[in-house]
Amino acid sequence: MTAALALENITCTFISRGDRSQRYTAMRDTTLMVAAGEFVSVVGPTGCGKSTLLNVAAGLLAPSSGSVRVFGELLNGINTRAGYLFQSEALMPWRNTLDNVTAGLEFRGVPLEEARVRANDWLRRVGLTGFGHRYPHQLSGGQRKRVSLAQTLIMDPQIILMDEPFSALDVQTRQLMENELLELWQADRKSVVFITHDLEEAIALSDRVVVLAAGPETHPIGDYRIDLPRPRDVSEIRMTPRFIELHSQIWHAMKDEVLKGYVQQQQK
């Protein structure tokens, strides 16, 4: 079976625009396979290049070397079979909630009437019925994330890329959103690549956790299968012995890298 998303030997080197001798290799020889319907989390210390990995998978960033395959096809340009949930605010502030959700369908040429009906259905599924006329600045951080989720999922992408989507939320909202995400994902299984620096979140949500080394030249240093039963409740699963066992196992492997990353941050 071909993988839904295959990153093969990806290397990303950035060259400073002003001074071409200034180079920074964010990622070296990274290979990552995501099967259809699989939920994979990528964890790693801050600043290690997790977002670089995701941008390469999305086609927003061309790798210096290596290739990306989407369902076996070589990726060239934007990955049209993927949806991307960004870490920071990505909604168009001049469009209200409903128009933000319909945006992707409009780009695709779906008639506005039909797009609105589908968008309203998605607003209901993310719990925002009646918020269609509000503008992004009139919503709370959690509500904006829900709109982003609806905006991405309405396109029915086969692969969902998430870049620390819940990191800006408070703990309670975050757990609610994580459960909702799992519920939506359970309904029709997409492939998910979920970037986070929070190991607990990664284990609670995923089928597999991939650990990245501290940057520069980051690469995977561990790949752990999470055999916790589904459906899960993210706040309850954290109490189970198997969760704690997995957590200590992965944390043990991560600890040195996190320390390295921390020292690098201090030196900057």
Partner 1 sequence: MSSNNKNSRGIWSRMAPRQGNLRAWQVLLLVLAFVLWHVFTSPTLLPPIYFDDNNKAAFFFGEPLTVMSRLWVWFAGGEIYQHLWITLVETMLAFFIGTVSGVIIGLWLALSPMASAICEPYIKAMNAMPRVILAPIFFVWFGLGISSKVALGVTLVFFIVFFNVYQGVKEVSPVVLANARMLGASQRQLLRYVYLPSAMSWVFASLHNAVGLAFVGAVVGEYLGSAAGVGYLIHQAEGVFDINTVFAGILLLTAFALVLDWIVSFAEKRLMVWQPKNSETERI
Site residues, partner 1 (CB under 8 A): 58, 60, 78-80, 82-84, 86, 88-96, 103-104, 106-108, 135-138, 151-152, 155
CB closer to partner 1 out of 147 and 250:
147
Instruction: Give the Å distances, CA to CA, from 29 to 63, 67, 216.
Output: 11, 11, 12
CB closer to partner 1 out of 57 and 237:
57
Nearest to 240 by CA among 252, 230, 228, 251: 228
CB closer to partner 1 out of 152 and 179:
152
Q: Provide long-range contacts, Cβ within 8 A and 24+ apart, for 89-93.
A: 89/136, 89/144, 90/148, 91/136, 91/144, 91/147, 91/148, 91/151, 92/136, 93/135, 93/136, 93/137
On the question of a cis peptide bond just before residue 216, with omega within 30 degrees of 0, the verdict is: yes
Confirm if 119 and 61 have CB atoms less than 8 A apart: no
CB closer to partner 1 out of 88 and 248:
88
Place of tokens 């259809």: 36
What minimum distance in Å lies between the beta carbon of 15 and partner 1?
17
Between helix 97-108 and helix 141-153 the angle, nearest 10°, is 20
Using CB atoms within 10 A of its CB, is residue 34 exposed (0-12), middle (13-18) or buried (19+)?
A: buried
Rounded Cα distance, 226 and 233, in Å: 15
What minimum distance in Å lies between the beta carbon of 157 and partner 1?
9
What minimum distance in Å lies between the beta carbon of 159 and partner 1?
11
Rounded Cα distance, 215 and 231, in Å: 34
CB closer to partner 1 out of 97 and 175:
97
Residues in the chain: 268
What minimum distance in Å lies between the beta carbon of 181 and partner 1?
18
CB closer to partner 1 out of 134 and 260:
134
CB closer to partner 1 out of 108 and 255:
108
What minimum distance in Å lies between the beta carbon of 80 and partner 1?
6
Place of tokens 């990274």: 30
Confirm if 82 and 60 have CB atoms less than 8 A apart: no
What minimum distance in Å lies between the beta carbon of 134 and partner 1?
10
What minimum distance in Å lies between the beta carbon of 105 and partner 1?
9
